[in-house]
Amino acid sequence: MQDHLVVALVYDRLCTFEFGCVTELFALERPELEVDWYRFAVCAGERGPIRAAGGITVAAPYSLRMLERAATIVIPGWRDPDEIPPEPLLKKIRAAYRRGARLCTICSGVFVLAAAGVLDGKTVTTHWRYAERLQRRYPQLRVKPDALYVDEGQIITSAGSAAGLDMLLHLVRRDYGSAVANRVAQRLVVPPHREGGQAQFVPRPMPHDEGGRLAKLMDWVRVNPALPHTLRSLAERAAMSPRTLQRQFRDATGMAPYEWLVRERVAIARELLEQQASMPMGRVAELAGFGSEESLRRHFRRVTLTSPASYRRKFAVCEAGT
């Protein structure tokens, strides 16, 4: 890692938090680690003033030519997933990829690499809000919407905002080992590794016909999650045929009724785990409609990529007197 140059890209309407994560990881001197730490530089992706979120202006000391020297390039978001980045930037990205530079993105920064054509056939991730758009626009990619970050070797992509820290700590772990990464995380006052994925933070899907029969059915299920729901019983409740109910569920949520029901029960379990820190796990399973702790654990882990116990430790609100 001696003389390893990390270059962060800045651009007009810069994502300030994501850029701050990059500078916090790579720009600070860390003599206490007793390793050859990264060198760090910032380059402008375009000419003109670089305005950033929060009303500040950034003066980048280097131009795109700095990318030619970078061992690692980090793109901390992009101002608009629907805007194709400038061609001079895309040319530098392609050249860096061909010579073997490591390319890393946070949140919407993945759209820059996708536009440059260096992600074809690769598995990537981004913020859950952008995952469907990314997959639709670039069908040659394999988008993992639940992942906090995806390491493809030369290319590492991460989800939104704070997931960038997870990815950057992963880079430190790759480059220097777990002991150094743990000490960096300790200085940041963050866990060195987070369990689970973005599914822990994705809000519930809402139907598009909020005054219709499907919306009323969903509201009723949310009040009665522990009943033994079946496709036929749900269809009867909504006064639809099972086939019509399945089609409307797909149109409204992108899921089959059973998958939506499981995810809704998981959402209820999450609320109970957050708000009832002392409630026995069996009671959580019962109230959420899973019937058993084993069923709760299996479905909860499949949906959120973490266990109910780990989720409770992370998100539970302390009760009075505890």
Q: Where is the domain boundary, 199, 221, 237?
A: 199
Q: Please check whether residue 62 is in contact with residue 41, taking contact to mean a CB–CB distance below 8 angstroms.
A: yes
Q: Where is the domain boundary, 169, 199, 229?
A: 199
Q: Are residues 185 and 229 in the same domain?
A: no
Q: Are residues 166 and 251 in the same domain?
A: no
3-state secondary structure of 8: strand
Q: Are residues 130 and 26 in the same domain?
A: yes
Residues of the chain with pLDDT under 70: 1, 192-211, 254, 317-322
Q: Are residues 156 and 57 in the same domain?
A: yes
- pLDDT of amino acid 155: 95
Domain for residue 113, yes or no? yes
Backbone dihedral angles phi then psi of residue 196, each to the nearest 5 degrees: 85, -170
Q: Are residues 181 and 298 in the same domain?
A: no
Q: Are residues 172 and 51 in the same domain?
A: yes
Per-residue pLDDT tens for 11-37? 999 999 999 999 999 999 899 999 999
- pLDDT of amino acid 84: 95
Query: Which residues does 124 contact at the CB level (< 8 Å), separation at least 6?
Result: 110, 113, 114, 134, 141, 142, 143, 144, 150, 152, 155, 157
Q: Are residues 254 and 186 in the same domain?
A: no
Q: Are residues 60 and 132 in the same domain?
A: yes
Q: Are residues 25 and 117 in the same domain?
A: yes
How far, CA to CA in Å, does 90 sit from each of 80, 111, 181, 182?
A: 15, 11, 31, 35
Domain for residue 37, yes or no? yes
- pLDDT of amino acid 201: 59
Q: What angle do CA 114, 119, 120 make, to 5 degrees?
A: 105
Domain for residue 208, yes or no? no
Closest CA to 172 of 24, 293, 308, 300: 24
Domain for residue 285, yes or no? yes
Per-residue pLDDT tens for 234-257? 999 999 999 999 988 887 776 788
Domain for residue 18, yes or no? yes
Domain that holds residue 274: 213-315
Q: Are residues 90 and 163 in the same domain?
A: yes
Q: Are residues 86 and 163 in the same domain?
A: yes
Q: Are residues 167 and 288 in the same domain?
A: no
pTM: 0.66
CATH label of the domain that carries residue 267: 1.10.10.60
How many domains, in total, are found in the chain?
2
Mean pLDDT of the chain: 88
Domain for residue 272, yes or no? yes
CATH label of the domain that carries residue 68: 3.40.50.880
Output the CA torsion 257→306→310→287 (10° steps): 10
> Rounded CA gap, 172 and 174, in Å?
5
Q: Where is the domain boundary, 135, 170, 199?
A: 199
Domain for residue 88, yes or no? yes
**H-run or E-run covering 6:** strand 5-10
Query: Which residues does 84 contact at the CB level (< 8 Å), separation at least 6?
Result: 115
